[in-house]
Every structure is written in C-alpha cells, then in structure tokens.
Amino acid sequence: MSGRFDVFHSLEPEKQKRILDAALREFADKGFKRASTNAARIGKGMLFYYFGSKEELFDFLCEYTMEFARNTYLPPPGMNRTRATFSSAIES
C-alpha cells in the first residue's frame, strides 16, 4: 500500500489510526455516497493531500482492511489452516 499513499504513511502511527478509524466508521455508518470526509477530524484539504479524493480514501480503506484480514486470519506460509486456527485459539 505504498507509493501513492507515501505521504499518509509518513504520519505518526497514532494519527494514521485516528484518521482510518474515523473514516471506517463514517463509511460503515453512512455508506459511500453519504459519507463525509469531515468525519476524520482533519482538514478536508489535508485529507485530499493524503489520499487525493474520497474514492482514493475508500480504495485505501479497502486495501487496508484486506491486508488486516490477511495478516490476522490467514495462516503463515507453511502452516495449514487447521493448525493456524488451533494455535490462534490456544494463544487467546
């Protein structure tokens, strides 16, 4: 997810998380068409500086959530799904 979002990735992790959490909530609550870019609690100009457009922000969030799911729920290379699920349950 680098390249076109390098400016966003240069932010402090806490600020990235705040922006992403607010944007995810906004899209989840209101859907794409009704979602407001003001929900991230940063200036609209800065949001567009980081992402380019509402569509780019949404694309970023889709990539971000897919990456999170892959890292959280898929087994590491070389480990089968059953063993990964069992290991995850034991660690919890």
Taking the complete model, does pTM exceed 0.75, yes or no?
no
Helices (H), the chain: 6-9, 13-34, 44-51, 54-73, 81-91
Give the per-residue pLDDT at 68: 86
CATH T-level assignment (fold) for domain 6-91 = Tetracycline Repressor; domain 2 (1.10.357)
Check residue 44 and give its pLDDT: 80
Query: How many alpha carbons fall within 13 Å on the CB side of residue 33?
Result: 0
pLDDT of residue 31: 92
Q: Where are the domains of the chain?
A: 6-91
Q: What's the residue count for the chain?
A: 92
Residues 75 and 86: beta-carbon distance below 8 Å: no
In angstroms, what is the C-alpha Rg of the chain? 16
Over its length of 92 residues, how does the chain's per-residue pLDDT go in tens digits? Answer: 557 789 999 999 999 998 999 899 999 999 999 988 777 667 788 888 999 888 999 999 999 998 888 878 776 677 666 666 666 666 65
